Amino acid sequence: MTISRPTDGLLPGLADPVLESQAVFRAVLDAMSHPGTIVDLAMTLSPPPPLDVATAAVALTLADYETALWLDDGAAGPAVADYLRFHCGCPLTRRCEEALFAIVATPAAMPPLESFQAGSDDYPDRSTTLIIQLPALGGGEAWRLRGPGIQEIATFSPAGLPSPFRSWVRENHALFPRGVDLILTSGSSLAALPRSTRWED
């Protein structure tokens, strides 16, 4: 649960934790249901750098005291760690394979998707959801996406992903129903690539 009252200089979280977290959750569901579609949160939030509005909003909505959160080196400073611990109550882990959620603020240095928890055949839901913050959700290499929630084919052009990312997504999809889910953020916008989505040439 997000608490909006900061202490000791911490930046505030969601202004209305109930209503805003519901709106963010609906936005994430919409993005997951329509892979490659950009959804704008249209909300005001002032998270600690380097977190963007959408990155922080998704973390504040999805993470709680039962969900271990992994931060990459770009996001793992004390200001972000204290902010997320206070507003989410979530435990932080330095082992990405233990995390149910992960925040990647420096995609160029991120570990391969196979480094994270892919779930099991019996419990595919026990996998990591990665929140990957990008410089933009458009203007990059055009992806051709197929899969559930896409009518025929969708085009998506995120910028700033590492060069091996295409092969990582293919390998992740091959694990289905296991595999990680991806939420891509930039500014106040987000898009999603669930494990069921195929990236085609």
pLDDT digits (tens, 9 = 90+) for 36-49: 999 999 898 999 99
At 181, is the secondary structure helix, strand, or coil?
Answer: strand
* Mean pLDDT in residue range 93-118: 97
141 domain-assigned: yes
8 domain-assigned: no
- Check whether 136 has a pLDDT greater than 60: yes
CA distance 19 to 164: 38
2 domain-assigned: no
- Domain count across the chain: 1
**Residue type for position 161:** L
49 domain-assigned: yes
Full domain range(s) for residue 37: 17-200
11 domain-assigned: no
Contacts of 66 (CB under 8 A, 6+ apart): none
- Check whether 92 has a pLDDT greater than 60: yes
1 domain-assigned: no
173 domain-assigned: yes
17 to 21, 22, 112: CA distances (angstroms)? 6, 8, 33
CA atoms within 13 A on the CB side of 153: 7
pTM of the prediction?
0.94
13: DSSP letter: -
The CATH number of residue 181's host domain is 3.40.50.11310
10 domain-assigned: no
Q: What is the largest CA-CA distance in the chain?
A: 52
- Check whether 8 has a pLDDT greater than 70: no
